[in-house]
Amino acid sequence: METEDDITVEEGPEELGLPFGAGATLRAAREERRLSLEHVAAETRIPIRHLETIEAGDFSALPSRTYAIGFARSYARAVELDETNIAELVREEMGSSGPRYSSLLSEMEPGDPAKLPSAGLAWFGGIAALVLALGLITFAGTYFGAGAGPASLLASAEASETGAQPADAMAVSDEAAKAALPSEDGQVVFTALEDGVWVRFYEDGGERLFEAQMASGDTFELPLGEDEPRINTGRPDAFSITIDGRAVPKLSEEPVTMGDTPISAAALLARPRT
């Protein structure tokens, strides 16, 4: 009597009439090709513990439904199986009844075990940052304007009639606004917001500065004076960025593959605000 381990991938679960399952199919394909879990993990950047979970068919133990299907697709490619068929098996085993997932998953870096941030949280963070910036500008204008002596009543009256601001007040506001912006030569720091986020930092020309799967809270400081540093990652949304300690917008609010993207302080400050 054949055991599950004796069943080859070419026979397939349908021909055998067995509830083979996506995990067992992937494991059989790996063993037939004499590949170790370590080899598949290196090929797909999926942690071994997640590969073991997939082979056991325990997809509910993975970070989310989306990543269960994405991990299974990556595994299928590594062992030369049809990733679409494997994805369908996973959906069936997880009882999927909703609409199919979008092609965004294919753009994500394989092996990222993090969850997507909610849109509400992103909006809240943006509004909070705007309120904080306005508060800093107002405080700076009040603080630096104090002690300068009484303003001319004539100038104030003229300003009221014309709707213009006194030159001193405009100068203080401009200086406060400039002071709130980071320097174009400042220290850039990337901080991982989730576990298992793969990233590569390198110079223009390809010389690598740093490459790893970063855990939540890990940081990387770009060396000052580097010639056009760049980034390659599938999870730009999973990194917060500061310049001289001041927060700047993320490279993206969604998981999307980025390659050869400039990340110097000047390049980050020149990015359009969204």
Cα R_g (the chain), whole angstroms: 27
CA separation for the pair 144, 148 (Å, rounded) = 8
Write down the pTM of the prediction: 0.37
Which of 41, 25, 108 is CA-nearest to residue 78? Answer: 41
Q: 226: which 2 tokens?
A: 């580097």
Looking at residue 202, its amino acid is Y
- Confidence (pLDDT) at 172: 52
CA separation for the pair 37, 178 (Å, rounded) = 54
CATH number (1.10.260.40, 1.20.1440.230, 2.40.40.20, 2.40.480.10) of 4-107 reads 1.10.260.40
Which residues fall within 8 angstroms of residue 223, CB to CB, at 6 or more apart?
209, 229
Q: 195: which 2 tokens?
A: 């576990």
**How many other C-beta atoms are found inside a 10 Å radius of the C-beta of residue 78?**
23
Alpha helices in 146-264 (DSSP H): 153-162, 167-179
Tens place of pLDDT per residue across the chain (274 aa): 444 444 444 444 444 444 478 999 999 999 999 999 999 999 999 999 999 999 999 988 888 888 899 999 999 999 999 999 999 999 999 884 333 433 333 334 344 444 445 556 667 777 878 888 787 787 766 655 544 455 444 444 454 555 555 555 555 555 655 556 788 888 999 999 999 999 999 988 778 889 999 999 999 998 887 778 999 999 999 999 999 999 999 999 999 998 889 999 888 888 887 5
CA distance between the termini of the chain: 63
Cβ–Cβ under 8 Å, residues 44 and 37: no
Helix (H, G, I), strand (E, B), or coil: what is residue 257? coil
- Confidence (pLDDT) at 101: 38
CA separation for the pair 196, 157 (Å, rounded) = 62
Q: Which residues pair with 95 in a beta bridge?
A: none
CA separation for the pair 215, 230 (Å, rounded) = 20
CA separation for the pair 128, 240 (Å, rounded) = 15
Q: Which residue has the tokens 């199986």?
A: 81
CA separation for the pair 58, 156 (Å, rounded) = 73
CA separation for the pair 223, 230 (Å, rounded) = 12
**How many other C-beta atoms are found inside a 10 Å radius of the C-beta of residue 113?**
18
Cβ–Cβ under 8 Å, residues 33 and 75: no
Looking at residue 163, its amino acid is G
- Confidence (pLDDT) at 184: 83
CA separation for the pair 41, 107 (Å, rounded) = 19
Q: 138: which 2 tokens?
A: 């107002």
Q: Cα–Cα distances in Å, from 250 out to 52, 107, 138, 223, 271?
A: 33, 18, 25, 19, 10
- Confidence (pLDDT) at 168: 59
Q: 251: which 2 tokens?
A: 């490279």
